[in-house]
Amino acid sequence: MWFKGCFHLHTTNSDGELNPIEVYNYYKDKGYDFIAITDHKFFTKLEKKPDKDLLVIENSIEFDIGTNLHILGIGLKNNIYNDQKNHQEIIDFIIKNKGIAIICHPNWTWAGKFNKLSKLKRYHGIEIFNSLIKEHIGSPFALEKWDYLLSQGNKIWGFAVEDFHYIKENIIFRGWIMVNARRLTKKDIFDSIISGNFYCSTGVVLNECFINENKFQVSSQNGEEIVFIGDNGKIIKVIDGNKGEIKIDTEYKYLRCEVRSEEGIAYTQPIFIGKE
């Protein structure tokens, strides 16, 4: 089953506009299946949830050590905040505590420099789209950095997020992930994300994304153009329509796909296929 969620949300416990229950209801009413509230340096806990329609992945936080390069820790095994000296220590702390580590907004005023990102190890992914950065200096997209890291042999996933702080139409409900999981539980969601069984989107909904007989096949509900991309962001094949496929070529280290339309873009996770 496909479940819709968002991992980067703030409340009045840090610098958000809405309190935790208001954020919970806001995303539940919009049809989200799961969220993680990630206040700065603070573990927000919902003591009483209005109902069980929305899974909250608790013990989540945004680590901030005074630079624009922040790191999300999703679903840590405990909620004891521990100040770390540098970004690698933050990542190691998250992994040690069984969480998911995601580099935040790497194109916010170029916070995530190419060399710095390439030196960090063991994180699960980066935000390839962060809608809040539309309001700041930088780009909401970090696809160039994703392709750079993938081309270096880093097996990391891409995430689309809202980075919710306040209600504004052009940035709210603009970035999310769709996870293919057996059940709506933290364990099943985590298992699928860690294995890369999800995609992220700014508007396009996928029907299928799979490998069959040495072909990478994708179909969507509302896509208009399919773009297959390989090493260093090279465009390998472009197809008009809402479904398409490409033969897997071991010349490339990885392949990924973007399904585009006027409504937005869906980004598949990379498949790793070739030479190291």
The backbone torsions φ and ψ at residue 186, rounded to the nearest 5 degrees and listed phi first, read -60, -45
What pLDDT, on the 0 to 100 scale, is given for residue 49? 65
The span from the CA of 244 to the CA of 12, in Å, is 44
Using the 8-state DSSP alphabet, how is residue 78 labeled?
A: S
Cβ contact 252:231 at 8 Å = yes
Low-confidence ranges of the chain (pLDDT < 50): none
Q: Please name every residue paired with 272 in a beta bridge, in sequence order, or none if there are none.
A: 254
The span from the CA of 198 to the CA of 270, in Å, is 10
**What's the topology of domain 203-276?**
Immunoglobulin-like (2.60.40)
The span from the CA of 249 to the CA of 274, in Å, is 8
The span from the CA of 200 to the CA of 197, in Å, is 11
What pLDDT, on the 0 to 100 scale, is given for residue 28? 92
CATH class of the structural domain 2-200: alpha beta
* 107 closest CA partner among 83, 130, 85, 75: 130
Query: What's the length of the chain?
Result: 276
Q: What is the pTM of this model?
A: 0.94
Three-state secondary-structure class, residue 272? strand
Cβ contact 162:6 at 8 Å = yes
List the domain boundaries for the chain: 2-200, 203-276
